[in-house]
Structure formats: C-alpha cells, structure tokens
Amino acid sequence: MKSISPSLLKSAARFTCWPALFACWSALALAQSAPDPGAPPQPDASPAAQAPATNPAPAQAPAPSPAPDSPPALPPPGPPPPANFQKLIPPDQLAFLNDYANQPARTLLKDKRFHSLMKQSISSTEYHYGRDMPLFDAVQTVLDGSMLPVLVRDGRFVTVSGNSGPYLGGRGFLWFDMQTGVALGAFYFHPTNGEPTPTVTVFSRQLTDRELSMGQLPEPFAEDLEQWQAVSRVPEVTPRYFIPENGKKYVLVHDEDYCWHPEGTPEPDPDACQQQNADAADDDMNAAYFMQETDNAANATAWMLEPDQVAWLSLRERTCGAGLACRIRVTRQRTRVLLGNPPLPPSRGR
C-alpha cells in the first residue's frame, strides 16, 4: 500500500464563559468610579493619593514561551533505485536481431552471433532444472525447436521465447534492449526438489544487485515479461528469483499492487485482487526462507520448514485468522527479516 482533542474542547468551553464575566466586572468598575452627588467636594489630589490603599498586585508570571515548532513530517520513501547493469552490449552487436523479426525462434538459434549474445546475457551458474546443469543449457533446452516468433517491439525491444522444455513445464525467454544494450531473461518450471513451486527466475549476467523488486527492472522488460506469461500460460503470481552475475539466486520481491487499476478502467474484484496480494506476500516469504536455508545456491535441492518457521506460521494464524490485510502486513514483515531487514519497496501499480 492513515477530532478535536479533549484539552482543546475544554479550552474552548472556558473561553465561551469570558464574555459574561467581563460584563460583570465592567459594571462593577463603573459603579465604584462614579462620584456620589451628595458627598462634599473633595480637594484635588494626586491619583496616587486618591487611590485606596491596597496590597500591591502580585507580579504576573511571564507568559510561557511558545513550544518550538515540531519538525516537519518526513515524506514517504520514494521508489528504490533502478537495477544496476554492467557490461552492456554495444548496439551494433544487436542490430542483426531486426532481421529475424517475426521468424521462428529456432531460426535465430542457428546464428552464431546469437549464441555469442546468449553467453553475454545468461548468468554463469549451475542451475537445477530437473537435474543440475548450466543455466545456459537449461535456457537453450527450452528454446530449441521453438516455433514462437521473434518479437521486436517499437523497433527496440526484442523477445526470443520458447516453451518446448521436455519436462516440468520448462519455458523461457531472452530479452534485449537494442538501444541501451541491456539483456535479461526468465525461466519457468515446476521444481520437484522441495522448493516453492512453480517458479520464475529472472537472470542477467549484467546485473550486479543482490536485492531487487520487480519495479526496479526496466519497465519495458516487465511489460514483455507479463505478455510472455500470458502467452505461455505462466501464473501471474509465483515465487520469483533473480540470478545476477555472481551466479547466486535471490528473491525478486513482488511490489505490484494487484488491486491497482488505471483511472477510467474497471476496478478489479476486491476479494480476488486482495487474495493475489496475499499470495504474492506468501510467495516472497517462502522464497526468502528457502534462499536463507540454502545459502542462495542456484541449484539448491532441499527445503524443509524448521521449527522457527512453523512456530511463526502458527503465530500468524492466531494473530490474523482469515484477515487478508493483517496476513499481508505481517508476512511482508517476516520476509523483511528473512532477507536481512532491507526496506521493502512500496507497492506500485501493475
């Protein structure tokens, strides 16, 4: 994804009594100062002599100094900085991709220049896709023989995708920005090694970050990823990871608000979209727990709930019950702890 105080009301009530009291004191003062017509004339005397002897009025306490202005409220945290990409690919090495627009992806895979791009784009690491293998081989496996067309959007953004993984529903795609030289990819499958499933892993050999949310990646990539998910029947909400240049695997945090919608468009079903937000919070927590237990290994194969996590899940159930808003809030707090307490990104529109 926030009354007038009782003391102020009491002060106001006191001030409403003052007009009547002031009128009484004014009449009394006028009666005391008016001369008696039957009294003999009095000689002039100084005001001090005429004034009745009275005890001197006590010195009035100085008015209290006004309280210093409270510091202005801090503005809400802005969005986190964009992802950091290094070793960008020169645009002249990407220009040939235009020649393959709308052709089957398998045709492009026969071009040696594309193999060179794959090596510059895919993180060098051992990945577990059914069995341990280089991530490069896993991506090539799902792209081989793909009849899906190479897409070039706006003369700039290239998507090369395949859904021909021989097992576990393997699918993937590579993405290039021909102007900036940024290269990214994503891999989807149903793990059977005990980790949260199904899963989407974003990767790039150019990435140097260790903490990321989806909103920090280039917006055109996020748009094409969403389109790829729809075409390839990849669930909209799944556990997500990213693999940067160091070959480790980290949680790619959901920062989408699935209840957001552009102005002037129909509002999504509030129960359904809030359930998506709750599922995304759960997926982030489960992924964070898995990565903590496996030391961020990209080919980790074991995952069990330790007693501390079992106890926390029981506490959440007792605290929140069926309340989705509570569940989302406390689950994101738990994810923050598991990730080492980084500030979680604010929710954003999809």
Q: Compute the distance between CA of residue 68 and CA of residue 84 in angstroms, rounded to an integer.
A: 43
Our CA angle for 286, 292, 295, nearest 5°, is 135
CB-based contacts of 106, cutoff 8 Å, min separation 6: 143, 144, 145, 146, 147, 162
Q: What is the pLDDT of residue 341?
A: 76
Work out whether strand 212-213 and strand 151-153 pair parallel, antiparallel, or are unpaired: unpaired
Considering all CA atoms of the chain, what is the largest pairwise distance in Å, rounded to the nearest integer? 129
Q: In the numeric block, which tokens belong to residue 307?
A: 């007693």
Cα(first)–Cα(last) distance of the chain, in Å? Answer: 13
Our CA angle for 121, 226, 339, nearest 5°, is 70
Residue owning tokens 């940067």: 244
Q: What is the pLDDT of residue 62?
A: 55
Phi, psi of 118 (to 5 degrees): -60, -40
Report, as ranges of residue numbers, the positions in the chain whose pLDDT lies below 70. Answer: 1-77, 303-304, 342-350
Partners of 250 in the β-ladder: 242
Partners of 256 in the β-ladder: 348
Q: Compute the distance between CA of residue 276 and CA of residue 281 in angstroms, rounded to an integer.
A: 9
Q: Which helix (H) or strand (E) holds 158?
A: strand 157-162
What's the pTM? Answer: 0.74
Cis peptide before 62 (omega within 30 of 0): no
Helix runs in 182-261, H state only: 219-231
3-state helix/strand/coil string of 31-96: HHHCCCCCCCCCCCCCHHHHCCCCCCCCCCCCCCCCCCCCCCCCCCCCCCCCCCECCCCCHHHCHH
